[in-house]
Amino acid sequence: MKLVFEKGHEGRKMEIIAPLDVSEAGLGESFKRAAKPKLPQMSETEISRHYTELAKRTHGVNDGFYPLGSCTMKYNPKVNEAAAALPGFVKAHPLQPEETCQGSLEVLNLAEKYLCEITGMDAMTFQPAAGAHGEFTGLLLIKAWHVHRGDTKRKKIIVPDSAHGTNPASASMCGYEVVSIPSREDGCVDLEKLKAAVGDDTAGLMLTNPNTVGLFDKNILEITRIVREAGGLCYYDGANLNAVMGIARPGDMGFDVVHLNLHKTFSTPHGGGGPGSGPVGCKAFLAPYLPGARAVKEEREGKTCYRFEKPEESIGDVKMFYGNFLVVVKALAYILTLGREGIPEAAANAVLNANYMKTKLSDVYEMAYPGPCMHEFVMTLEGLKKKAGVTAMDIAKSMLDYGIHPPTMYFPLIVHEALMVEPTETEPRDTLDQAVEALHEIYKKAVEEPESLHGAPYKTPIGRPDEVTAARKPVVRYHWEEHAD
């Protein structure tokens, strides 16, 4: 496919700017370019075709199955985008007087109320813009609490090795020393190792649950008890909350702080560089340290109204104003649409779909951890690699020929030749059956004609790009000179 620059023709253009009908203001010479910018010149139809052609070459949820793991929901209802696009929200200015944007404050107040109810927390901030940003913020709350009590020797954060990679990174960004503890064979936290690791220098524990291998730690109550008895606080990485939302609450399991990824669980697409939101919820004793301002509800002259309130001992801002507000609007629209019945139903379907696929694939594919999973499961292709020389990468690439987006590859790191599959809650059984059938066919090929898989995919616009070069030396700019003819 030609680039837009190669498609253009001198003089072929459309007039999109109306002719000047006022006197020209003029820019100072120093502000002007010496030469006109080199832009492709095309007609409207050509441009429209160009971008349609590009769109056809990508694979998204609207094209087919998308079982990428550690990403949770891919169902981002369009109606929620419409809600977030309402002029009253889009045109609000963050410095507008409170009386003039009561609706936006109500959104923040309601979203906080419902998300606190879902997580079992007492207060929440919407300032953090991503999951990892939420972790950083949550740890700052923990730190502020210890420091406030004068307990300054607590310098360690315990992170099991089944945690998301951002957990140890955030802890170390906060100036903490990270103590990693290995998981047991069954993928759960090793309680003996945990007991040995805690002490009067433990600031807290960060637990990803369900963990990165898709399991709900069955000893979770014991885990939080051990940490609390040592005087530490417990942090719950709730980025993948859609396996448990409406069913189990971190706040009831002994956790003091939790972050959510609204751009994974509550109706905003994850990835692609769009705005995200990683709200942090906490128990009441940590609420005074929250960043930003919370929208609180009050009665004034018999009328319900909202105002912003800054927490007294606030750690300060972690982002401007109220975070990515429109993402919160979408989350609230999603929660209100699903309601008390729909939220746990979405979670149950996510778990059901994952277990359905896991069971159907277990005849030939080796699972990293046997038994039921939560919303995702991890296969290991180590055996197949030894037997037939076919890697997780080969299997993932072959899936593209079946119109399926590959699952997450080579993650989590604690599983070799990992493929992490997350079917998500909205896929009907037919789609899951087709995917299972495709994976069975691929497995058969892997055993019978392994060489054929090394070259896959065959049906996509490009085969196997050089991923290292693409990552290390990306070409993100068109150089006219090099292409001059």
Ligand X SMILES: *Cc1c(COP(=O)(O)O)cnc(C)c1O
Q: What residues make contact with ligand X under the rule CB under 6 A?
A: 70, 130-132, 164, 166, 208, 237, 239-240, 261, 276, 278
Segment holding 44, helix H or strand E: helix 44-56
For residue 132, the minimal CB distance to ligand X (Å) is: 3
DSSP 189: B
The alpha helices in 302-428, defined as continuous H runs, are 325-361, 382-388, 392-400
Whichever of 101 and 130 has its CB closer to ligand X, that residue is 130
Cβ distance 125 to 280 under 8 Å? yes
Name the CA radius of gyration of the chain, rounded. Answer: 26
Compute the distance between CA of residue 356 and CA of residue 387 in angstroms, rounded to an integer: 27
Segment holding 140, helix H or strand E: helix 131-148
Whichever of 324 and 355 has its CB closer to ligand X, that residue is 324
Compute the distance between CA of residue 59 and CA of residue 405 in angstroms, rounded to an integer: 7
Compute the distance between CA of residue 11 and CA of residue 22 in angstroms, rounded to an integer: 26
For residue 169, the minimal CB distance to ligand X (Å) is: 10
Cβ distance 178 to 157 under 8 Å? yes
For residue 71, the minimal CB distance to ligand X (Å) is: 7
For residue 173, the minimal CB distance to ligand X (Å) is: 12
For residue 401, the minimal CB distance to ligand X (Å) is: 28
Cβ distance 70 to 440 under 8 Å? no
Compute the distance between CA of residue 97 and CA of residue 252 in angstroms, rounded to an integer: 38
Positive/negative CA dihedral, 471, 473, 479, 483: negative
Whichever of 251 and 276 has its CB closer to ligand X, that residue is 276
For residue 261, the minimal CB distance to ligand X (Å) is: 5
Whichever of 164 and 358 has its CB closer to ligand X, that residue is 164
Phi, psi for residue 260 in degrees, rounded to 5: -120, 160
Whichever of 80 and 162 has its CB closer to ligand X, that residue is 162
For residue 167, the minimal CB distance to ligand X (Å) is: 7
CB-nearest residue to ligand X: 131
Whichever of 138 and 254 has its CB closer to ligand X, that residue is 138
Torsion angle of alpha carbons 368, 372, 377, 379, nearest 10°? 30
Whichever of 136 and 306 has its CB closer to ligand X, that residue is 136
